[in-house]
Amino acid sequence: MDEILQPIIPDSFDEFIKENPPENKEREDTMEVRFAKERVEWTEKVKNMSTMMKRLPDVAELMTNIYTERQRAVEYYHYLMSLLYKIGKTYRKQFTEKYDFYTYKSQKRFPNEKVKEIQILADLSPTVFLKEQIENHSKFISETIKSLDSIIFGIKNRIDIENLLNGK
C-alpha cells in the first residue's frame, strides 16, 4: 500500500493522442492491459483493506492508510476525467472536419445523414475506442472510491462493535 500510484498514461496530452491517432493495435492493447492491471491492483487494495477490519489492531493502521489511498484514487479519477475531456474535444473537432469533408469535398455520396455518420465513426474508430476505454476505467475508479468510502464508514461501526463486545 505504500507504493506510489503512477499515471498509466503520459502526462502530456500531445503524447497521449495526436490529431490523427495511429491505428496501432499495439498501443490499444497496451492501454487495455495497463487498465486491466490497474483494476486488479485497486481490487487487491480494497480487498486488503476490507480484511484489515477483522482485527482491531489492524483497524488503526487501516485508518491511516485508507485516506491516502482514497486521495490517490480521487486524483487518478480526475486525471482520467481531464484526459476524457481532452479526447472529447479532439473527437468533436475530428468529427466536424470529417463531416465537412464528406458533405462538401468528397466524391462519395451518402443516401442519408445516418450513413454519413456511420462512415465518420468508422474513420474515427481509434479515437472512439480510446475514449470508451478511458470512460470505462474512470467508472471503475469512481466505484472504487465509493468502496473506499464504505470502508471508511464501516470503520466506525467496527469500533462500536468491538466496544460492545468489551462491555463499554
This prediction has a pTM of 0.75
The residue with cell 490497474 is 38
Quick one: which of 32, 125, 134, 16 has its CA closest to 84? 134
Q: Which of 12-16, 33-37, 106-110 has the lowest mean pLDDT?
A: 12-16
> pLDDT-based confidence at 26, cuts 50/70/90?
low
For residue range 33-42, list pLDDT tens digits in order: 999 999 999 9
- C-alpha triplet 51, 54, 59: angle, nearest 5°: 90
Asked if pLDDT for residue 168 goes beyond 80, the answer is no
Return the ∠ at Cα 124 (arms to 122 and 130), rounded to 5°: 115
**Dihedral over Cα of 29, 35, 38, 43: its sign:** negative
Question: Domain ranges in the chain?
Answer: 13-18+32-165
Rounded CA separation 168/166 (Å): 6
- Please report the pLDDT score of residue 14 as a whole number: 58
Write out the three cell numbers for 22. Answer: 495511429
Condensed to tens digits (0 to 9), the pLDDT of residues 40-74 reads 999 999 999 988 888 877 888 888 899 999 999 99
